[in-house]
Amino acid sequence: MSLFKKTLTNFAIGSAKVDSSLKQEILFPGQNTNITIHVYGGCKKEKIDYIGLKLCCCYTEKIFNNSSKNNNEQNKKIKQSYTLSEWSSPYEFLIEARKIRNFSTTLNVPWNTPVTIGNAKVWLESKMKISMKIDLINKKILTVRPDPLMDSIFSTLEKQSLRIRKVVCKTVQGFDDLPFMQKFEFIPIPGPYYGCWRGLEFIARRTNGALKLWIDIDRNQKDSKKIPSSSFSKLKSHLEIPVQKTTTEAKMMILEYLDDISSQHVRPLF
């Protein structure tokens, strides 16, 4: 091999490459997805030490600098990534020059995987380590949609003339399974809650037995206080929908809950 080709190989140019493909175009929390990892041989035979997959998402964490007098520095926000599910090959192998090897596996899309709307991002990361060379990483952006029970919540709110305004993933305290939560913010358009509320926001936590919703209403009142995201898990009032409920029953439960919240409001301001 010429000195030029050796130099290119040392920088992983002309080396083996890794990619992955999914049989499903859309993923749903609580289900498995079938994945094929493709390893493409480079210009010579190489030893592959490791190949792996990670299902990842990102969220925002607020960092407070109490020693700073500048408020902007106190409220610094940084992006964090989190591994939802992962897989790795149990053995090393050789890949011949310009040959292709495929590996099939299954990854679980866990409950509470963020729905990919707003700034929520979920991706599949394929990683391969070649002996004596740098790690190679390939990222594929994915689409995640709500499961039927969660989707019934969205459709119910939409039929009540509530429209999604903002969706964010950020740090939350009080939950043991994940360091973040996905918060959905809605605003009313002309309909039953127009003029009564300025907005509604909620977070959801799905377990094997139930879907739990923590809902906060931003009322048209001067003394109303917005509940910070970090305090959602401390709220005693929440709606719990057993997974045995049908989507129709779940819709009725959310409507009754919204009516109960509305009855606590004195009068609309306009």
Average pLDDT over residues 46-64: 91
pLDDT, mean of residues 45-50: 92
Read off the pLDDT of each residue in 163-184 and give the average, rounded to a whole number: 88
Question: Higher pLDDT residue, 58 or 2?
Answer: 58
Question: Helix H segments across 24-124?
Answer: 71-74
Provide the pLDDT for residue 177: 76
Query: Which residues, at least 6 apart from 54, have a Cβ–Cβ distance to it below 8 Å?
Result: 83, 85, 86, 124, 125, 127
**How many angstroms separate the Cα of 123 from the Cα of each of 18, 28, 107, 126, 194?**
15, 13, 13, 10, 37
Measured distance CA(153)–CA(194) in Å, rounded: 19
Between 175 and 84, residue with greater pLDDT? 84
221: tokens are 């009142």
Q: What is the pTM of this model?
A: 0.83
pLDDT at 218: 83
How far apart, in whole angstroms, are the C-alpha atoms of residue 182 and residue 169?
4
The pLDDT score that the predictor gives to residue 142 is 96
Nearest one of 62, 188, 76, 170 to 118, comparing CA atoms: 170
Tokens standing for residue 112: 């509470």
Point out the least confidently predicted range of 14-23, 25-34, 185-194.
14-23
CA distances to 30, 111, 211 from 208, in Å: 9, 9, 8
Three-state secondary structure call for residue 103: strand
Enter the CATH code of domain 3-141: 2.60.40.10
Radius of gyration of the chain (CA): 24
- pLDDT band at 5; cut points 50, 70, 90: very low
Backbone dihedral region for residue 132 (phi beyond 0: left; psi -120 to 50: alpha; all else: beta): left
| In the chain, domain spans | 3-141, 148-263
Distance from C-alpha of 270 to C-alpha of 198, rounded to nearest angstrom: 11
More confident residue, 116 or 132: 116
Q: What is the Cα–Cα distance from 28 to 108, expressed in whole angstroms? A: 10
Q: What is the pLDDT of residue 33?
A: 95
